[in-house]
Amino acid sequence: MITDFGGRTAVLTGAGSGFGLECARIGARLGMNLVLADVQQDALDKAQAEIEAAGAQVLARKVDVSDAQQMQLLAQAVQERFGAPHFVFNNAGVGSGGLVWENSVKDWEWVLGVNLWGVIHGVRLFTPMMLQAAKNDPSWQGHIVNTASMAGLLTPPNMGIYNVSKHAVVSLTETLYQDLRLVSEQVSASVLCPYFVPTGISQSHRNRPGELADEQPTRSQMIGQAMSDKAVGSGKITAAQVAQKVFDAVAADQFYIFSHPKALGNVHSRMEAIVQARNPPDPFIARPEIGVELKAALRAAG
């Protein structure tokens, strides 16, 4: 929980676009110091210029969050410039689809590296800094928000690699919340589970590393990409609205942050099936035409 954001420091990964950039804009309006990290240099430069023009103190770094050494250097730079951050938003993420057995080892390494290891590095590096600051000052407040997805609570088909990464982030963050409760009342955590929001994640292939950039996608991956583009493009909730939900949750110490609460009906049916030991329910029960379209496309591809 943070009751006053003015003069506080925020570390935002994936800050060049989407939720990260929108949170930086809110942070600047609130008078925060902003640490912007992104793997895409041009987007990072543009974000830095905008946030500095808004009057905020900015530390910008090009960082591959999957790289432990790069994240270590980021943490050191934050400590030297601003001290322990009050708000850490482990937000960088990439999307990837396809039938789960068709993803290559490199696909798994890339998606888990960014979506999961990026969060792991953020937690393991910044949490000790925050706890030490809290120990030194009884009035100090800190909060960590990790970006997962509704795919971290559901298991939609043809995107298993993404589901796995986001389920892991939900589990990690729930555990982080419980661990923090054991040792401090001053630092807390939340998990962000957005649904389909236009952020640029559906175009993650623009940042695929060199060894993956030249790989030809499988038929199921192309089908998944097309469906993702369509779903994200039709999203009615904006990244700016979700970013405001993040700040509201931090101020209220609210753990679960949802962009589309109506989608929780699918989560409820999944949890009921688990408790009742029933087979997994149809993930498209509310929109059966989507399941029909996906099945037809995949069988035609086969």
Query: Is 162 among the catalytic positions?
Result: yes
Spatial distance between the Cα atoms of 28 and 9, rounded to a whole number of angstroms: 10
Q: Residue 60 in contact with residue 52, Cβ under 8 Å?
A: no
From 162, 177, 195, 256, active-site residue:
162
Q: What is the DSSP track for 121-190?
A: HHHHHHHHHHHHHHHH-TT--EEEEEE--GGGT---TTBHHHHHHHHHHHHHHHHHHHHHHHH-SSEEEE
CB atoms within 10 A of CB 206: 10
Q: Which two tokens stand for residue 182?
A: 């054991």
Enzyme catalytic residues: 162
